[in-house]
Structure 1
């Protein structure tokens, strides 16, 4: 059985402390995800300022995303040595200082270095904040993790819009200093207020030696589901504007249609974590992935009016699985390795998000937009056997299974 966790103990873990972990983690998630997607709003500005082609712009985006993805596992190791509070605060400060340096950069090389610094700082957020929420709430973490997951979407909406507004009022360099200042303040709040969750395990001499999350079959199935789920989402979003264009949608209405998908996606992240806690992980994954495949096919063949009505539901199905998966990560690892498990999981999903549009794009060049879109639906259905295989490794309120062999 999973060893007991003192994070602190039940007697010492007050609801305010739990709540503070959750809301500060949500603030960190919103800030860092906002920093990540803020680049999209800045790319046209940088293109005009530095004379970049589209390949150069893609490299700028890749520098940030690449450093963030590759350093998440080292960030988990740092958290184990320094503690969650110090690592998250320093990472947030580094992400903010990276953007401040970008504002001071005199050329393209300096901008690239600054983005790498900021991406390095942002690598700390996902494994540490999600791990802290999981430890604070223990077996009740599914719902709070869905709130945490949802908060990232708020940041993705707020900060790109903010930077777009700021660059109409001042130079982009000064605008970056403003958002960097917000990050510095957030880092200070985390350093002063984030609860330092002590971790220790109660020895269980009857249990076998604990292994790395990467070696556990349960975690492997969960990881594979996360990678494919992200591939479906990013692949479909690549082709959806072209599907809408084929239905006669104008560029202006395309933006509105995508907004409907994103609104539904945010709602799906918030709701599906709670659903998973009540009806079970496997049932929820089968529902969301089956719903995703059905909605993809429907969007391809329905008339425009019906398609627009369906888009928020499609968004819910596309994004809903992620909250269920994130809430299951703590069940697949020993408590002292929660950050490492989240780091591995997020590394896989971020890499999938970067590579899958390229792979589906090559497929689209060969079989057409509709053929590649059908492939995303089949990818969603391919998750079914993985979810069924995951069932025997789950332990929750509905199905008690000894999971000490999972990790």
Structure 2
């Protein structure tokens, strides 16, 4: 590379303090919203008993939340071009908390479904606004902090469902949801008090949130394609992993332990690979993570149970590591005043891929069996590598500047 890598410590002290506050508050908010998203899995059996629901209706409840969250991110990105992102983030977090509050008071399936849709709508604000806020706060040094920001979401996915499971033992699900709603309102208050203003996207032209000056444009569609395929690999592999381990002789507790190892590795991957991308570049990092993903998937398919389980934390690092690098690259390919809109499009594509990919791989699994369908996820991972090479031509750390 012809330019030295800018780090967060090179920011002026006042800007560094503001950036740290931004990352801390958005990280807390990310943990809350991702926890809100995954806690539904803990609550579905409770609601099935309470309302005598079929599996189809349970899936619909989950879909209402996820659909509202995914479908509204692009409109939220457009609103952020006219309204300060901090205001949107406060309103969205409060709305998501109120959705769980209303769910706790719901008397039937219709009210519960509407409450979850309301909460999902509030969560639609989190990814595009918070990611853009961290990007603007750190400027050229945003890749590593964006990796930390994404890591905090995994902490929320682990902590909030686990805490909810404990609370459901000592109180009713309705009281549990009231506590979750209170936590959300407290986080909204933290944003009010401690988070610096984000500013409007349209007013961000003067903010050096991107170091794309002087580099050619047009790389965002390639980045989006990589993000969609990367998510498809992750979701497809996780769909078949329990069945692969079962066929190797794993019990249900062993399957649960194995999945935990993947998720722990995934959290570590989000934390570390954002910094790796800042230091060695997007292309090298993506080639490492996707090539490693393909190799480790093949190894898990071929090895006996115990060696396969031993590899799962490292596979989790590779599966999730690419995502942090991709999130950190979005601002580099986007004009500063359209950062929120770009993040909204990117998250909509990846979340949509996460919903569709398991279905497609499931059809493939029905036709070819779980082993060959899992092998197809490894092939998909390798297919990302040539796309990354094309993308690198549009990046400041690409071959032209290496």
TM-score class normalised by the smaller sequence: over 0.9
Shift of residue 52 of structure 1?
1.2
Matches within 5 A, 1:75-154: 75-154=76-155
Match of 2:392 in 1: 391
Q: How does 1:3-402 map to 2 (within 5 A)?
A: 13-198=14-199, 199-202=203-206, 217-396=218-397, 400=401
Distance 1:57 1:202 in 2: 47
Q: CA deviation at 1:78?
A: 2.1
Match of 1:211 in 2: none
Cα shift at 1:308? 1.4
**Range with bigger deviation, 390-399 or 19-28:** 390-399
Give the Cα–Cα distance (whole angstroms) in 2 for the partners of residues 217 and 251 of structure 1: 47
Q: Distance in 2 between matches of 1:97 and 1:252?
A: 36
Q: Secondary structure at the match of 1:241?
A: helix
Contact residue 236 and residue 373 of structure 1 kept, 8 A: yes
- Is 1:142–1:328's contact at 8 Å kept on the other side of the alignment? yes
**Post-superposition offset of 1:202:** 4.6
Runs of at least 5 residues in structure 1 that lack an aligned partner in the other structure: 1-9, 204-215, 402-407
Between the aligned partners of 2:205 and 2:62, the Cα distance in structure 1 is: 41
* TM-score w.r.t. length of structure 2: 0.92
What CA distance in whole angstroms lies between the structure 2 residues aligned with 1:325 and 1:384?
13
On the 8 A contact 1:280/1:398 being kept in 2, the answer is: no
Q: Distance in 2 between matches of 1:120 and 1:257?
A: 33
- When residues 197 and 239 of structure 1 are mapped into structure 2, their CA distance, relative to the original with a 3 A threshold, is same
Q: Distance in 2 between matches of 1:287 and 1:53?
A: 43
Distance in 2 (CA, whole Å) between partners of 1:75 and 1:370 is 40
Structure 1 distance, partners of 2:177, 2:343, is: 30
Deviation digits for residues 353-402 of structure 1 (CA, Å, limit 9, x no counterpart): 0010011001101110111011111110110111011011001498649x
Classify 1:304/1:190 alpha carbon distance in 2 versus 1 (closer, same or farther; 3 Å): same
Whether contact under 8 Å (2:25, 2:191) holds in the other structure is yes
Secondary structure class of the residue paired with 2:181: helix
Aligned length: 382
Pick which of 233-242 and 388-397 moved more.
388-397
Q: Name the CA distance, whole Å, in 2 between partners of 1:399 and 1:94.
A: 46
Structure 2, unaligned runs of 5 or more: 1-10, 208-216
Post-superposition offset of 1:54: 1.4
Distance apart, 1:75 and its partner CA = 1.1
The change in CA–CA distance for 1:41 and 1:71 in structure 2 (over 3 A counts) is same
